[in-house]
Chain A
């Protein structure tokens, strides 16, 4: 509150109260000026804080919105065909090679690699992928 705009009745009440030690007018003015500066500073800080908070909120909204819009569930589906084991968007010899290396590593078989669906992940799946890779009738020389 701007001290210069104190209600008049307050000023009168202050004046009517017991004599106060007087404050020299210059000191009074200086104190008032300092108070005004402090108050302005506090107001500025409040605005800064509000601005920061508002910016942060806006950024959060944008971030959430971006994340939501770019979530895989909302993207047009990339149809990785069954044989595209390395998920590079095409079926080629590298997919057969990928599976062959997995088999050589003798790790636990991944059911998704059972390309020919015979319940086993083995060399026949590798051959099935290689056959698909070199099939000329397939568009793009291997990509489905």
Chain B
């Protein structure tokens, strides 16, 4: 009996253990998950066998993963896996033919091949002062396994991006605009399920990221983007600018939402920033080139054309119509394309541009300062010259900044005072207080510029702003602060917020110095600072540019500007806060005349601009006709330009107005979705759902870029 009991109990225990073992085996059979450090434990299909581990999660430091792994062990979009590898043995030497062509290998079996962005084609047309621009990016997969291409690129700050088409072979799939999170979700799911998909997101008003998923070996995917924007006008010239590369940004310690710069081939996530850009070394070139064609239909005679940074061919179709094409030998996308042109007469300048829609008539109006301003003398000035001497300015940019400042010092008026501030890792200044512009002091200032400024280091622009603005103001003088910088920083919002806080009665003028400046930052500083922005390219005559600036500030501005649109029942007008009018610098305003409120049948009115000059009231009239085809230029895209300016206005106010900060995302989303525009909170996405591509979603390859022309790689891109 005892034996039977023991045997039976043993059998029962064994059974129990067996059952438990089976149950445990079921729990273990799910796919591998990621280790806490984020390294991929399972091998990728074929391509990286034997490769040194170079995979890390693209995740801001200090932030925990947002979601658990899903059933197949692959995380969602915000844990994008980025893998890069370069085989140094196959990099050409600097002296070999074809030197500098970057190649990347995924495995030892693949042949050397260029990176996945083959070519960018830009086609622009200008009517009046509104540009319509089509940008086609050609992605291809030169490898032997699927890839996802990621490309961070710039567009003009005020670009109203309205269209997005993905082309696969001869099939054209037009993308849709969605809230950013939803677009990312759609893209992530499509990528995970093996569909070809593309996603465009905005990192800054002038910086965007393009993701293209599941590009099969040997295949090409094109992405076409279309945008509208208004040209700038100043000192007699219209200017069309197309940026080609984002310069390496400095991010203050502790920030994670900046734009990080890293050497191509270094570990992903090494910058600690949410957005990263890989930069090629000076002896490397990616093979990605750019073509650009610009059609200018000015409507009036074009008197002069000038390409600032590129060699171009100009074809004159008629006295009012010209075509400008980038020369093929100048096709490396490492500097802004800037084309300036002068036109005859005032018709185009003063014309109201309109677009009639069911909602009403959208218009843009260029308002010129009254001629009378030129005859009035200005008050004595307290001139502060704040120069960025960080590593990115090293070389030609700092030479240009110093030359411009030197000219300004030599042309100050008696009664003016001046100060020179420089900033890099910290800020320093020439003297304890602003000095009278005597000959002796000017000489001292020139010596300081030439010999005593300490150059190199990071770009702690906050320090520069505080040092330039946050000290007692001389009541007898107008304080004009001129910043000379390339704007290569990643904390724009912090800078703008601080500027607004410290501004007081000062005015801020910004000089963008370099071939690819951060125009978003510089234009915003000038706008918030009631001043104006100017750009000094590496090939520009620094003294001429500064002379134009001096001409501008040597006459008083029309301040406290307001516009009365008379009989035109205008609704929303942007910019909401009208900037001061300086000599040579008109202001473009855009507004909406709602459909039901247009008065009369002619839509004519006298627009009256009022303000103060030196404390005295002044006003001038501009007769306009909204429906008059002779005197107005109707143009598709005006509605988009209006909506983009409305979004820009919300962004501006959100930098300093707490009441707006919380509502800003919702407000921007609403406008962007209604008008079909890209924004910080809306994105374009397109999915080809007709077929799966084989295998997993493949390897992510970031498109590396050149540092901007004139910028030193060694002082701007950390090798990690």
A–B contact, 8 Å CB criterion (strictly below): yes
Q: Mark A residues whose CB is within 8 Å of B.
A: 82, 114, 116-119, 124, 127-128, 131-132, 135, 137-138, 144
A117 touches B636 (CB 8 A): no
Which residue of A has the minimal Cβ distance to B639? A131
9 further contact pairs, Cβ within 8 A, besides A116-B636, A117-B629:
A116-B355, A116-B634, A117-B634, A119-B299, A119-B629, A119-B633, A128-B636, A132-B358, A135-B357
Evaluate whether A114 and B636 lie within 8 angstroms (CB atoms) in the complex, with A137-B358, A138-B358, A144-B358 already known. Answer: no
A118 touches B635 (CB 8 A): yes
Q: In whole angstroms, how far apart are the Cα atoms of A127 and B629 in the complex?
A: 19
Which residue of B has the minimal Cβ distance to A115? B634
Evaluate whether A124 and B629 lie within 8 angstroms (CB atoms) in the complex, with A82-B356, A118-B127, A138-B358 already known. Answer: no
Taking a contact as CB atoms closer than 8 A, the residue among B358, B359, B633 that contacts A117 in the complex is B633
Q: Mark B residues whose CB is within 8 Å of A.
A: 127, 299, 354-359, 629, 632-636
Taking a contact as CB atoms closer than 8 A, the residue among A116, A131, A137 that contacts B635 in the complex is A116
Which residue of B has the minimal Cβ distance to A120? B297
Q: In whole angstroms, how far apart are the Cα atoms of A131 and B632 in the complex?
A: 21
Q: In whole angstroms, how far apart are the Cα atoms of A7 and B398 in the complex?
A: 135
A122–chain B nearest beta-carbon distance, Å: 11
Q: In whole angstroms, how far apart are the Cα atoms of A82 and B356 in the complex?
A: 10
| Minimum-distance CB pairs A-B, first 3 | A117-B634, A117-B629, A116-B634
Contacting residues, chain B, for A128 (C-beta < 8 A):
636
Taking a contact as CB atoms closer than 8 A, the residue among A118, A127, A135, A144 that contacts B634 in the complex is A118
Which residue of B has the minimal Cβ distance to A82? B356
Contacting residues, chain B, for A116 (C-beta < 8 A):
355, 634-636
Q: In whole angstroms, how far apart are the Cα atoms of A144 and B633 in the complex?
A: 22
B633 touches A118 (CB 8 A): yes
Which residue of A has the minimal Cβ distance to B628? A117
Which DSSP category, helix, strand, loop or mixed, fits chain A's interface?
loop
Contacting residues, chain B, for A82 (C-beta < 8 A):
356
Which residue of B has the minimal Cβ distance to A124? B636
Evaluate whether A131 and B636 lie within 8 angstroms (CB atoms) in the complex, with A114-B629, A118-B127, A119-B629 already known. Answer: yes
Contacting residues, chain B, for A132 (C-beta < 8 A):
357-358
Q: In whole angstroms, how far apart are the Cα atoms of A124 and B356 in the complex?
A: 14
Which residue of B has the minimal Cβ distance to A131? B636
Q: In whole angstroms, how far apart are the Cα atoms of A57 and B633 in the complex?
A: 56
Contacting residues, chain B, for A137 (C-beta < 8 A):
358-359
Q: In whole angstroms, how far apart are the Cα atoms of A137 and B360 in the complex?
A: 12
Contacting residues, chain B, for A138 (C-beta < 8 A):
358
Interchain residue pairs with CB less than 8 A apart (11): A82-B356, A117-B354, A117-B632, A118-B633, A127-B636, A128-B636, A132-B357, A132-B358, A135-B358, A137-B358, A144-B358
Which residue of A has the minimal Cβ distance to B674? A137
B363–chain A nearest beta-carbon distance, Å: 12
Contacting residues, chain A, for B358 (C-beta < 8 A):
132, 135, 137-138, 144
Which residue of A has the minimal Cβ distance to B359? A137
Q: In whole angstroms, how far apart are the Cα atoms of A13 and B188 in the complex?
A: 130
Which residue of B has the minimal Cβ distance to A144? B358
Contacting residues, chain A, for B634 (C-beta < 8 A):
116-118
B676–chain A nearest beta-carbon distance, Å: 11
B283–chain A nearest beta-carbon distance, Å: 46
Q: In whole angstroms, how far apart are the Cα atoms of A82 and B627 in the complex?
A: 12
Contacting residues, chain A, for B633 (C-beta < 8 A):
117-119
Q: In whole angstroms, how far apart are the Cα atoms of A114 and B632 in the complex?
A: 13
Contacting residues, chain A, for B355 (C-beta < 8 A):
116
Q: In whole angstroms, how far apart are the Cα atoms of A128 and B635 in the complex?
A: 9
Contacting residues, chain A, for B632 (C-beta < 8 A):
117
